[in-house]
Homo-oligomer: A and B are copies of this chain.
Amino acid sequence: MKVTELAKSLGTTADTVRYYTRLGLLKPAKSVNGYKSYSNKDVSRLKFILSARNLGFSVADIKQILNESEDGKSACPLVRSLIKERLEETEKQFQAMLALRGKMSSALSQWEEMEDKAPTANMVCHLIENFEKIKKA
């Protein structure tokens, strides 16, 4: 199986497959012409990787998980502990985005009824530079 073939069969891109290959997550044999040749085992591994990415695991996480399972150990405890970490991070980022979204949309509406001003020596754009001050208005 060639790289594009594998990628398409699982709904991803050749670049993604190549990336995982570079990291050693997939281990294709080298075919005669130097092209990479992927096995059925690579197919299941890639399937796993894509599922895990979809659940918010980082590629580094996945590498760790695959290593664990290659030693014959159950990766389940590691998986549970990693997702706890990732979920906490996601929660933090989520709250940050929530706040940012609020700020941005309040700025947008505030700015709609404000006039344009030319820059001055110590003011680039009064919309931005006065935003925090009049936010409560």
Tell whether, in the assembled complex, residue B83 and residue A90 are in contact, meaning their CB atoms are under 8 Å apart. Answer: no
A56-B100, A86-B104, A107-B55 known; A125 vs B76 contact (CB < 8 Å):
yes
The residues of B that contact A56 with a CB separation of less than 8 Å are: 100, 103-104
Is A31 an interface residue when CB atoms closer than 8 A count as contact? Answer: no
**What are the interface flags for A66-86 relative to B under an 8 Å C-beta threshold, 1 for contact and 0 otherwise?**
100110111111011001101
The residues of B that contact A126 with a CB separation of less than 8 Å are: 76
- A107 and B80 CA atoms in complex are apart in Å by 9
Tell whether, in the assembled complex, residue B98 and residue A131 are in contact, meaning their CB atoms are under 8 Å apart. Answer: no
- Those of A94-122 within 8 Å (CB) of chain B: 94, 97-98, 100-101, 103-105, 107-108, 111-112, 114-119, 121-122
**Number of A residues, CB within 8 Å of B:** 59
- Those of A31-64 within 8 Å (CB) of chain B: 41, 44-45, 47-48, 51-52, 54-57
Is A65 an interface residue when CB atoms closer than 8 A count as contact? Answer: yes
Can you name the residue of chain B whose Cβ is closest to the Cβ of A97?
B94
A55-B107, A74-B118 known; A91 vs B101 contact (CB < 8 Å):
yes
Report 6 cross-chain contacts, Cβ distance below 8 Å, ordered by A residue: A44-B123, A44-B124, A45-B124, A56-B100, A74-B119, A94-B101
Report, nearest first, the 7 A-B pairs whose CB atoms are least far apart: A69-B119, A76-B116, A74-B116, A87-B104, A75-B125, A48-B124, A44-B122
